[in-house]
Amino acid sequence: MEGKEAKDTVAAAASSSPLFSFSNSNASFAFGFGFGFGASSGPPPPPPPPAVEVLLSEESPVAAGELEPVVIDDSLSIYKGRASTSDVFGVKNSDLVPGKYEGGLKLWEGSLDLVKTLNSDIKEDRLLLEGKRVLELGCGHGLPGIYAILKGAGLVHFQDFNAEVLRCLTIPNVKANLLKESSQEKFTSGSVGFFAGDWSEIDSLLLRGDADLDKSTNGHENDTAYNGYDIILMAETVYAVSSLPNLYRLIKKCLRYPEGIVYMAGKKHYFGVGGGTRQFVRLVTEDGAMQSDLLVEVADGSSNVREVWKLSFK
């Protein structure tokens, strides 16, 4: 879950929605930042940290903890570590710290929904990851991106708001899974990348010069392929209405035109916040540059109804 504006909104759900279980009392900070909740008595949120690349070698000495298997199917498990906000950010029992931490240390339900959908689509010959260039936005643990690596993707980039999350959790998880798969020895610092920063700025680093083009303009001829990411993955990134425009602009800048596809997983509605998969799909529909298709609906009682969507250029 990423985005500068997103952190201004998510904590509002702590006092109004059972979908979030923030343990601290920071919920009040969200009110009054342009969402119709009334005037704010506190200072404005701090500016986002600068966009930076985090090298594969920059794994933090803060241990990600004992590895735990996440079973995808009978033939595949992805291993993940665990890092606490206390160890990484010096804040106890918190899912969010305004301006500092965006929830990346928690494994959200949508991440698993996304991996299982990718696995199903590959088995049914609806998706090919081998040799593809993949970007995971708001990666946190990075399980969807790791899955792409294990399925033969040619390049995988991981993006999170927090560099600390990448160093303390994403990179250790990636290394742990690659070490368990001897066939993945070809993956080096040149075929995986890690980038921290806000969605409004991170395009300057992603694929370097490729990312400065935007398919919302008419700069592409019908017979010209855009050299961006083949597949963009994102889970639980659409919870705050204010962050959705920056997220959508980033997708259009970085997605390969016209063949690129996006897999998006998240809750249908985030009560008390206003975001959700349907809110994002509405934005996509109103823009008109891309089409959206609902792939999966999950109503298992563990949270609000969750969905997985596929987006592609028209």
In a domain, 24, yes or no: no
In a domain, 1, yes or no: no
Q: DSSP code of 47?
A: P
Express each pLDDT in 121-173 by its tens digit: 999 999 999 999 999 999 999 999 999 999 999 999 999 999 999 999 999 99
pLDDT of residue 188: 60
The low-confidence residues of the chain, meaning pLDDT below 70, are: 1-45, 63-65, 93-100, 102-103, 180-190, 208-226
Q: Tell me which residue of 309, 305, 166 sits closest to 233, measured CA to CA.
A: 309
CATH at 66: 3.40.50.150
SS3 of 172, please? Answer: helix
Q: DSSP code of 35?
A: S
Q: Which token pair is 164?
A: 């600390």
Residue 155 is which amino acid? Answer: L
Report the 10 Å Cβ neighbour count for 208: 9
SS3 of 313, please? Answer: strand
In a domain, 66, yes or no: yes
Q: DSSP code of 2?
A: -
Express each pLDDT in 290-306 by its tens digit: 999 999 999 988 788 99
Q: In whole angstroms, what is the distance from residue 198 CA to residue 203 CA?
A: 9
Q: In whole angstroms, what is the distance from residue 134 CA to residue 307 CA?
A: 21
In a domain, 30, yes or no: no
Per the CB < 8 A criterion, the answer to whether 247 and 282 are in contact is no
Say what angle helices 143-150 and 109-123 make with each other, to 10 degrees.
20
In a domain, 91, yes or no: yes
Q: How many domains does the chain have?
A: 1
Q: Which structural domain range is residue 166 located in?
A: 52-313
Where would I find the beta strands (DSSP E) of 172-260? 192-196, 231-235
Q: Tell me which residue of 248, 226, 227 sits closest to 237, measured CA to CA.
A: 248
Q: In whole angstroms, what is the distance from residue 7 CA to residue 210 CA?
A: 28
SS3 of 168, please? Answer: helix
Report the 10 Å Cβ neighbour count for 213: 18
In a domain, 6, yes or no: no
Per the CB < 8 A criterion, the answer to whether 276 and 268 are in contact is yes
In a domain, 17, yes or no: no
SS3 of 146, please? Answer: helix
In a domain, 34, yes or no: no
Residue with tokens 């999170």: 160
Q: How far apart are the first and last CA of the chain?
A: 27
pLDDT of residue 218: 46
Q: Which token pair is 91?
A: 């804040």
Name 123's Cβ contacts closer than 8 Å, sequence gap at least 6. Answer: none
Per the CB < 8 A criterion, the answer to whether 230 and 260 are in contact is yes
